[in-house]
Structure 1
Amino acid sequence: MENLGSKGEKSVPLKALKLSSAAQVVMRLGTTALTLAATWATLTSKETATVFGIEFVARYSYSPIFKFFLIANIAVCGLSFLSVFLVFILDKMTDARNYFYMFLHDLIVMALLLSGCASATGIGYIGKYGESHSGWMAICDNVTHFCHKMTLSLALSYVAVVFYLCLTILSANQSRKIHV
């Protein structure tokens, strides 16, 4: 039988709430760590190469797309860290409407991180393979260290996107208990 609270609403068993809260905290801390590592990998990705006697430097700050990727990772890292405390506060409240705000938060943060990842993946693909129709050459043959660091940063960020997808599903599941 289902547990019935006040006004005939279903109440969630305490064990399920604790498990859900623990999963959220672990995923939010994991996302914080992943985006922090991705930020660090992006910030430290710099390489100087000499091609046909011309020296050039590859670094994230030369591309507005990589700058956006870095800013998205920094924002998600900060918001994920702050949301850990919000989970503890919401854990003590009984109003299910608060979980709707967590759902919106998780959805927006996931969209921000996914857009940063997608744009950086696009420019990374061109850096790796080039674009012959536009005349853009592949540069990863010459700056392999830079490309490997940016690939690592992208991989970490995509894992964080998967974590936020799971968090969005958890938040949506909790917010569906709202009775209008």
Structure 2
Amino acid sequence: MRADARKNRDHLLAVAGTAITEQGVDVSLRDIARKADVGLATLLRHFPTREALLDALLRTNFDELTARAAELETSSSPEQALVTWLRDCVGWTTEYRGVTALMAAAIEDPESALHASCVTLRVAGARLLTRAQETDVARGDLDGADLFALVAMLAWLGDQPSLAPRADHLFEVVAHAILTRPAAGRP
């Protein structure tokens, strides 16, 4: 890709990220183009569909969370790795309003542009969960799909203005429910 095209694409992604943070995933593509000071055709040339735009925007975050899981796997105790990754994942997910519904739909739809990234993210979390289960610090009746659903649930709480103040407390409740032993110095 030419340098100017890359610069335009990166600018569109930055503007889209801000717009989605402020207005949610249903923000108008026309509004994103206007805020980026380009025509809608320019936006659509780079990202022919809303899902293509979201995939490009979210893929970097998914990749970072997947890499973070691998890093935690080798640098932290199984319990700390699982809870830290879960907190990071929930924190990121609440950054983009409405993304939890997209992620839940994409994981079930192999045709979705977001499917592969969501599956990779779920697998990364499942590895951390399995590692914690193998050392008896996490419940054995959960799997990666359950963990992915818990991320979505906790992120949804953060999206709700009336429930957002309780989100941290409820995160702790859920984390304690996943773990089989009380946390010593857990993040």
Rg larger for: 1
Higher strand share: 1
TM-score higher than 0.5 here? no
Q: TM-score, normalised by structure 1?
A: 0.33
Q: Which has the higher contact order (CA 8 A, sep 6+)?
A: 1
